[in-house]
Chain A
Amino acid sequence: MTGHAAKAQEVFQATLREAALRAAHDQPPKDRLWFFRDARWRCLIVAEQGLQAESGHLEGTEIAPHAAAQIGHLHPEQLAVWISAAPDPQRSALAAYYLDEFSLREMLTLLEVKAGELSVLVSSGRRQFQAWLDATTPHYEDEA
Chain B
Amino acid sequence: MSVFRLSRREKALTRIAPITEKPHTDRRMRIAILRAKRRTVTATQFAHQQAFDRAVSALVQAIPVSTEIADWFRNEKLIPQKKRSWKKAARNPVVLSIALALAVIAGVFVLGVMERMSDFPGSKTARKLLTVAASTRGNQLDPVQTEAGALSDFFFMKFRLEHYDVPPEFAALQTAGCRVFDDEEAGRVAQISVSEKRMQFFLFPAERNVKDGKPREFEGWRYVEQEGWAGAVQMRAGVIFMACLRGEQKDLEPYVGAAKP
A116 to chain B: closest residue by CB: B12
Classify the interface of chain A: helix, strand, loop or mixed.
helix
Name B48-69 residues within 8 Å CB distance of A: 48-49, 51-57, 59-64, 66, 68-69
Are B26 and A68 touching (Cβ within 8 A)?
A: no
Chain A residue total in the interface (Cβ 8 A): 38
B63 to chain A: closest residue by CB: A76
Interface residues on B, range: 35 or more
> Is B13 in contact with chain A by the CB < 8 A criterion?
yes
**Contacting residues, chain B, for A120 (C-beta < 8 A):** 12
**B52 CB to closest chain A CB, in angstroms?**
4
User: Of B18, B64, B66, which one neighbours A104 at CB under 8 angstroms?
Assistant: B18
Classify the interface of chain B: helix, strand, loop or mixed.
helix
Are B63 and A77 touching (Cβ within 8 A)?
A: yes
Residues of chain A at the chain B interface (Cβ within 8 Å):
5, 9, 12, 16, 31-32, 35, 62-65, 67-68, 71-72, 74, 76-77, 79-80, 97-100, 103-105, 107, 115-116, 118-120, 122-123, 126, 129-130
- Besides A64-B48, A71-B56, A103-B26, 18 other A-B contacts (C-beta < 8 A): A5-B64, A9-B68, A32-B80, A63-B52, A68-B55, A97-B19, A98-B60, A103-B25, A104-B26, A104-B29, A115-B12, A115-B13, A115-B16, A119-B13, A119-B15, A122-B16, A123-B15, A126-B52
